[in-house]
Structure 1
Amino acid sequence: MFTCPVCQILVLRASEFQTHLKFVHNYGHSNFPQLICPFSSCNITLGTWSGFLRHVKSHDKFLEIGSQIPNLFFEPTLNSSNFSEAQQEINIDFEDPKTFENISVDTGIKIVSEILGNFCSSIIASGVNNSVMDVIVKEMEYVFVEIINLVTKLGKQTLGEQFDMVAIQIRSLVSGFVKVKSSYQRQNLYQSRNNLILPTEISLGSRIDSKIKDAKRQQVVVEDTFMYVPLLKTLEKIIQIPQLYQYFESISKPNGQIFKFCDSESFKNNKLFSKYPQSIQLQLFYDDFETVNPLGSKKGIHKLGALYFILRNLPDYINSQLSQIHLLALFYSEDAKKYGYGSILKHVLPDIKILETTGISIGGNIFRGTVCSVVHDNLGGNSLLGLTESFNSNFFCRICYISKAEIQNEFDHNYMAIRNLTNYSLHLNSETFGVKIKFASILPFSRFSNS
């Protein structure tokens, strides 16, 4: 950050400062006077335009990596030792009036960082990616600096030189942007505030792959992994939200009509839900999606499978929001076929088991819960159940085992042979009727839903 020696305006970066001197004050090679470096705490005198620009850009590089952050404060009494104290994370209560009594520059910078952190997390939660967030923060910083310049000019016009010290303190607040400029810095900020739930990378196995190194193709061992977002930690964060907590404390009484899952017979007959009606109702959703051109040569290689969940305790108008669809697991579809869905779900089931038996403690209350339903499309359902994924096969339906020839003449499901556990095992042993592999991966969910 640079202060123009001519008009005292505050400029963020070296490139902008160069443009300011060139087009506002008409400085260049021919008419450049001797100037002291405009960077804070730097008293080097420069006499040439090219040398001045090189020196200013060197400060700009330090700013990018945060090495010169103490100089951003423009506060003579703020050194590197108390700056490290200023960097320590604190929990700021904005509702407490005492927070803003006898406020210091350090506290002001922390408050700005907290406000910006809340703003960025809210925008990212709405679906904005990090690259767009970087642009938003950069533009906000520019607007913030322009407002500070305007406030400084108005203050000097009103109070004269007495406003200089206040202007220095106001300018130092721009340093609050340092912690939110990049996705890495924002992630560190969220982690320090204990507001970020990081996914866990879990290994499924390994494979031999080829890699070109030093112009030679070499065989290397590559781990097959998937990402799991801890379920219990996610539920704790969701239920702790004051606006949502009320929906887990009470349950609406049924009036004979079915509006949601808790009005159904499945809910009433479930051992857990019948004993604890306020239990958390997890609805899982599975689907695959292609991350590259579906018509290109790389299709299928980078195809991902995702397991999401929503909470049926919440009303439909809340569940209809994208922010209420929570990621549970993310994996390569090829890895799921190679190792089986059971190898992935076995890392999810322990948390569900804890939720069923022990529960989680929030606000002095114990919340239990389990899976109430699993939602999927036709392809995902057949894949999970171990059935043939070709809907052009002879036995294509996962609900019954009617053939393609019979379905041309039969339209009443009462006359169709429905699949169940008994005939499924028989079909598995005979390798007919569209059964490919054992559906051990889905059995636990069936137990949770029907027990």
Structure 2
Amino acid sequence: MWRCKDCGTTLTKRSELLKHYKLIHRHYGRGHSYPCTYLNCACRFKTWNALLSHLSRNHPAQQAVSKAASTFTCHICGHNQLSTEREYFQHIYQHLKNKETVTCVFQNCEYKTNVYENFKSHKYRKHSGTVNTFKPGISSVDESCASVASDISDVEIIESDVNLNSAFDNGYSENLEKDIELKIASVLLKLEHIFLVSNAAVDELLQELNYLIGSVSVAITQKTISQVLQDNGCQFDQSVVEKLASVLCETNPVKKAIGDKGPLSSPWRRKAYYKSHFKVVEPVEYILDRKNNKSFQYISILKSLQHILDCQTILDQAVNLNTVDNQPQKTSVHYKTIFDGDFFHENGLLSKQESISLILYIDEFEICNPLGTSRRKHKICGLYWVLGNLPPGCNSALTSIYLAALIKSNDLKCYGYEKVLKPVINDLVILEQSGIFLSKLGRTVKGTVQCVVVDNLGAHSIAGFFENFSGTYVCRFCTAETSEFQTIEVRSEVFTLRTKDIHADHLRIIEENKWPSYYGVKSKCILSKHLSHFDVTTGFPPDVVHDLFEGIVPFELALCLNLLIKKSISHYVH
């Protein structure tokens, strides 16, 4: 008696088990692998022929015990209710996600790691495609279900599977055509939106490719078929060969996808295909002033988050999301990421439970010639966000930066940040108070904004500080006066840094005395007004791009170059 390791179905012969494997493969799709049928062999194979080849080389026709009739015991925690190898490795992966050190489960291998991706990579590289046995105590046979299997050769297996292929090929070919169509669509999408190839160029490419597949390839296919039939001594009619070659070219899945009426043949069809087959979040237009036809576009942060965290690869790399106990702990004084700082660990939501950390970025850009007559007329302000849970290496890539809103800069100055950020704040309030449901985790996860990266003018506008940088109090980090900046040397010992309590006192004094400002504070921060876990005194860090690369560094370089030029001129004069 044999038992399927994936669904538990009991079968009497190994040939029936192999047929059952093919049906399972058809149900789950091409990504589902075939497991070896023998006890203590952990091999899995992507194709049917690879499994047959493995059985022929490593398991010649013999009496064996079904592998599927065994149970697995975790060597870390002792859990022994794991009926399949798949469940066993999922359990092992959970230990790795909890940062526990796991030793390789196969014999003669002492590899150890506490990194999930490293263990999977090691298993794939070292224990894939070869005969591997588990270490003693991991796999045990269930005597009530295991029995001796009858002898059967690989030739008999292949012959017994002929009838199954006729019922399997239709569904397989249909899935394969869909996979090819989806792959072509992803390539075209990459051409259009990553490499910025125009729709006209893509259409020209598809037309030429369609011509090559549909017209030019017919003669080559016809010649190839005739040659193969002649080499095998087959009698054939030339008209039948011509028709066969024509049908083969016309039914090519690539031609069907990009042909005249194919789903990818025109820009409109491609756009519709992208929306229906890929996870697209459509922008929504928000009206600022209906009378003057003022509006802006917003892409929902919540919907984008759900699609992004539905990807298992991103979810595995995210810190503070996989398990409740997987919280980053501050163990040293070395600062490598934002998770090592005091601001992160003092945040009530980000530090004490599984949570989503968001980093917002706001900046303006010119879409016209910045030196021409249209300068500043069509300037756009963009709001972007980054998932702060990802490692620094991931966040440095442009593909990890997501667009949230676009608005004309003139409209932003007219209506202010509070009105423009209203849909953004609504989503952030939902994220902080209710959270979003992550299907991969099977539970709801809350989150908040960790910080907002923006230039000084934008930061002061959103945070409610004085926006005139020639006044008395121009710093959002301390309460020092402008006149003290250039006169006091040890500023850290003299200047009073703004804290949450000090800022609250300033707001209270403004409200009680009806003053326009106090110590540079004008009003309450737009985000702090609605988000309980966002602190205005720590949520607007300095921006290295605006403060250094566009500020201090060019200024200092200009002074150095000016000094060098003067010294050079003086040298030549003397």
TM interval, shorter chain, is 0.5 to 0.7
Bigger strand share: 1
Task: Indicate yes or no: 2:224 matched with 1:155.
Answer: no
CA–CA distance in 2 between the matches of 1:181 and 1:291? 31
Partner of 1:225: 295
Task: Indicate yes or no: 2:244 matched with 1:189.
Answer: no
2:225 partner letter: L
2:304 partner letter: T
CA–CA distance in 2 between the matches of 1:226 and 1:418? 37
CA apart distance, 1:338: 1.7
Relative CO higher for 1 or 2, CA cutoff 8 Å, sep ≥ 6?
1
CA–CA distance in 2 between the matches of 1:404 and 1:244? 46
Task: Indicate yes or no: 2:309 matched with 1:373.
Answer: no
Partner of 2:382: 306
CA apart distance, 1:401: 4.9
Partner of 1:236: 306
CA–CA distance in 1 between the matches of 2:345 and 2:172? 58
Partner of 1:266: 343
CA apart distance, 1:305: 1.4
1:228 partner letter: Y
CA apart distance, 1:325: 0.1
Task: Select the residue among 176, 200, 205 that pairs with 2:257.
Answer: 176
CA–CA distance in 1 between the matches of 2:455 and 2:282? 28
CA–CA distance in 1 between the matches of 2:267 and 2:395? 28
CA–CA distance in 2 between the matches of 1:267 and 1:100? 55
Task: Indicate yes or no: 2:338 matched with 1:249.
Answer: no
1:438 partner letter: S
CA–CA distance in 2 between the matches of 1:255 and 1:105? 55
Partner of 2:533: 448
CA–CA distance in 1 between the matches of 2:463 and 2:452? 12
Identity value in percent: 25
Partner of 2:198: 132
Task: Select the residue among 117, 122, 143 that pairs with 2:185.
Answer: 117
Deviation digits for residues 147-172 of structure 1 (CA, Å, limit 9, x no counterpart):
55454222211334414234234235
CA contact (8 A) 2:213 2:249 kept: no
User: Given the superposition, is the C-alpha separation of residues 148 and 111 from structure 1 closer, same or farther in structure 2, using an over 3 Å criterion?
Assistant: farther
Task: Indicate yes or no: 2:31 matched with 1:95.
Answer: yes
1:443 partner letter: S
CA–CA distance in 1 between the matches of 2:448 and 2:387? 10
The correspondence of residues 408-419 of structure 1 with structure 2, limited to 5 A, is 408-411=486-489, 412-419=491-498
Deviation digits for residues 335-371 of structure 1 (CA, Å, limit 9, x no counterpart):
2222221112221122222222322222213222111
TM-score (norm 2): 0.53
* Segments of 4+ moved more than 6 angstroms: 96-100, 103-109
CA apart distance, 1:291: 1.7
User: Given the superposition, is the C-alpha separation of residues 93 and 184 from structure 1 closer, same or farther in structure 2, using an over 3 Å criterion?
Assistant: farther
TM-score (norm 1): 0.66
CA contact (8 A) 1:290 1:304 kept: yes
Task: Indicate yes or no: 2:352 matched with 1:282.
Answer: no
CA apart distance, 1:268: 2.5
User: Given the superposition, is the C-alpha separation of residues 204 and 369 from structure 1 closer, same or farther in structure 2, using an over 3 Å criterion?
Assistant: same
1:380 partner letter: G
Task: Select the residue among 387, 402, 416 that pairs with 1:340.
Answer: 416
1:260 partner letter: T
CA apart distance, 1:382: 2.7
2:454 partner letter: H
User: Given the superposition, is the C-alpha separation of residues 134 and 358 from structure 1 closer, same or farther in structure 2, using an over 3 Å criterion?
Assistant: farther
Unaligned runs of 5+ in 1: 1-91, 207-220
CA apart distance, 1:375: 1.1
SS of the aligned residue for 1:179 comes to coil
CA apart distance, 1:235: 0.6
Task: Indicate yes or no: 2:253 matched with 1:167.
Answer: no
1:102 partner letter: N
Partner of 1:382: 460
Q: How many residues are paired up? A: 344
User: Given the superposition, is the C-alpha separation of residues 413 and 293 from structure 1 closer, same or farther in structure 2, using an over 3 Å criterion?
Assistant: farther
User: Given the superposition, is the C-alpha separation of residues 427 and 196 from structure 1 closer, same or farther in structure 2, using an over 3 Å criterion?
Assistant: same
User: Given the superposition, is the C-alpha separation of residues 392 and 95 from structure 1 closer, same or farther in structure 2, using an over 3 Å criterion?
Assistant: same
